[in-house]
Chain A
């Protein structure tokens, strides 16, 4: 399977995918960590893909999205943005609306 196919498969199997450095439990970069915090705060179920696991994936995802940095957030197969855009959208309530529009179910928060 090519790296492009691997990325396609991840995006098809999960509504929300975060390509990041490290894992959601243990982010290894502050920018990835910020997006994890936002997603966890919103109660979004997502798949974290650690790009540090493979240099091929690390380069492949940048080519796939035409985006030079990590993290990268995808919703329903569509690239939404990196750390700056996600934070800006979250603060403006746009991320919440996007997830709602795309039909992503958020966990109930107490």
Chain B
């Protein structure tokens, strides 16, 4: 039931094209990841809404195939 880090990145970028995605495999088991997603698309949205965009990009994998994804979302600085 594990999920590849590149697959996670691909799904996020497909749904949020301006996203810069960094993924770390926390336990080395392909099941516990930490992701940092930086995207201009997040501007003006609450943290909950930002995370919901990422979860939507993962199309139901979160909580299923993807057991644990520690998520941090931010807006790029300086424009």
Q: Is the CB of B51 within 8 A of A82?
A: yes
Which B residues lie within 8 Å of A67 (CB)? 48, 51-52, 55
CA of A44 to CA of B4 in the docked complex: distance in angstroms? Answer: 39
Within 8 A of B (CB), among A19-59: 31
Q: Which of A31, A62, A80, A83 contacts B48 (CB 8 A)?
A: A80
Which A residues lie within 8 Å of B60 (CB)? 68
Q: Is the CB of A88 within 8 A of B62?
A: no
- The closest CB in chain A to the CB of B58 belongs to A68
Residues in B lying within 8 Å of A, measured CB to CB:
47-48, 51-52, 55, 60, 62-63, 68, 70-72
Residues in A lying within 8 Å of B, measured CB to CB:
31, 62, 66-69, 79-85, 88-89
